[in-house]
């Protein structure tokens, strides 16, 4: 059984994961509007990943006998100065997500909730990947600037697909 503190923290994080999905869907729309369909696809895959993360937590709370209490999700931004600015914004968002996951792990440890601490390790590892993926794209955008390289990168990002992680 989850403690009330853990239940609340998981519910807050479920909201945050759905907000993240909503943010990436907004970024996808931004890139669609610019005619960068590869970038839009990349963000759409990120949208699907965030929904998967939220559902994974949703299911865990239920498995542990907690109660999921869905919360209102704020509207995300919808305009950025450039593709680089959009990816830098998203990278900074992932830094916040990492801190939130780390805070959940710390709470699980304080609550002596070993099951939750183990469950959350998947998210800790996932955040390393998320920061790396966004960071790599930020670095590539800095290298290509606004020239023809942007369109080559757009083609590369169009190849990304969502593959749900295999069950452990």
Average pLDDT for 81-103:
98
Contact 156, 37 (CB under 8 A): no
CA distances from 67 to 1, 16, 28, 58, 122 (A): 10, 17, 32, 9, 21
Q: Where do runs of H (alpha helix) occur along 145-168?
A: 149-158
Record the pTM.
Answer: 0.92
For the domain made up of 4-158, the CATH class stated in words is: mainly alpha
What pLDDT, on the 0 to 100 scale, is given for residue 3?
Answer: 97
Q: Where are the domains of the chain?
A: 4-158
Beta carbons of 24 and 46 less than 8 angstroms apart = yes
Q: pLDDT digit string (tens) for 123-145?
A: 999 999 999 999 999 999 999 87
What SS3 class is residue 73? Answer: coil
Residue 79 has a pLDDT of 97
């Amino acid at each position: 059984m989850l403690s009330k503190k853990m239940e609340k923290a998981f519910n807050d994080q479920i909201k945050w994961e759905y907000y993240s999905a909503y943010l990436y869907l907004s970024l996808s729309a931004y890139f669609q509007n610019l005619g960068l369909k590869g970038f839009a696809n990349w963000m759409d895959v990120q949208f699907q990943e965030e929904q998967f993360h939220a559902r994974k937590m949703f299911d865990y709370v239920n498995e542990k006998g907690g109660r999921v209490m869905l919360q209102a999700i704020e509207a995300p931004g919808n305009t950025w100065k450039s593709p680089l600015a959009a990816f830098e914004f998203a990278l900074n968002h992932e830094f916040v997500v990492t801190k939130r996951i780390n805070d959940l792990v710390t709470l699980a440890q304080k609550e002596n909730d070993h099951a939750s601490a183990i469950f959350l390790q998947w998210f800790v590892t996932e955040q390393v990947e998320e920061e790396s993926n966004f960071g790599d794209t930020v670095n590539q955008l800095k290298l290509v600037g606004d020239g023809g390289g942007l369109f080559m990168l757009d083609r590369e990002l169009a190849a990304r697909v969502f593959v749900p992680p295999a069950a452990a």
